[in-house]
Amino acid sequence: MKQLDVSAIKDGSVIDHIDSKSTLKVADILNIKAEEDVVLVGMNLTSKYLGKKGIIKIGGKILDQKEVNKIALIAPNATVNIIKDYEVVKKFEVVVPEVIEGIVKCFNPNCISNYGNTKAKQHLINKNPIKLRCHYCERVMGANDIVLI
């Protein structure tokens, strides 16, 4: 039997195939500090596809679409597995949506979306490498410019 680098969880979500360097950022997005159930974080694990990968397992939590979308922006190669009674009941790859609303802060300080109650909004213009165009000020953001709200 294969030895797991990071122990299995009974119920919850597993985010796998995270680019290793982005693991803690993904952990931040998911606000794991607030979790009360088991949380396991692994970095620099061997991956056939990525060389080194990260993995996060969150007990008792089923990720919703908005959270998955956020992960997609930071770790576009990640996969999300939903676990029930140690079995994978749902498996999906993260996909950056065509329109991203209320997730990414526009990096342009003079953009109207950084003032008042305007909800930030971007359009996906390139998937890999990721490029987003602000709906309002039209600035193009790359992966390094992405700051989540």
Chain contacts with other proteins (rule: CB under 8 A):
108, 110-113, 115-118, 134-140
Provide DSSP, 68-98: HHHHHHH-TT-EEEEEETTEEEEEEE----S
At position 85, the amino acid (one-letter code) is D
Both tokens of residue 144?
Answer: 């390094």
Cβ proximity to other proteins, 44 vs 118, nearer residue: 118
* Residue 134 CA from chain centroid, whole number: 20
Least gap, CB of 63 to other proteins (angstroms): 30
**Torsion angle of C-alpha atoms 97, 99, 101, 104, degrees rounded to 10:** 70
Cβ proximity to other proteins, 124 vs 137, nearer residue: 137
Burial of 134 (0-12, 13-18, 19+ CB in 10 A): buried
Least gap, CB of 103 to other proteins (angstroms): 17
Least gap, CB of 149 to other proteins (angstroms): 16
Cβ proximity to other proteins, 91 vs 127, nearer residue: 127
Least gap, CB of 137 to other proteins (angstroms): 4
Q: To which residue do tokens 């500090």 refer? A: 33
Cβ proximity to other proteins, 3 vs 110, nearer residue: 110
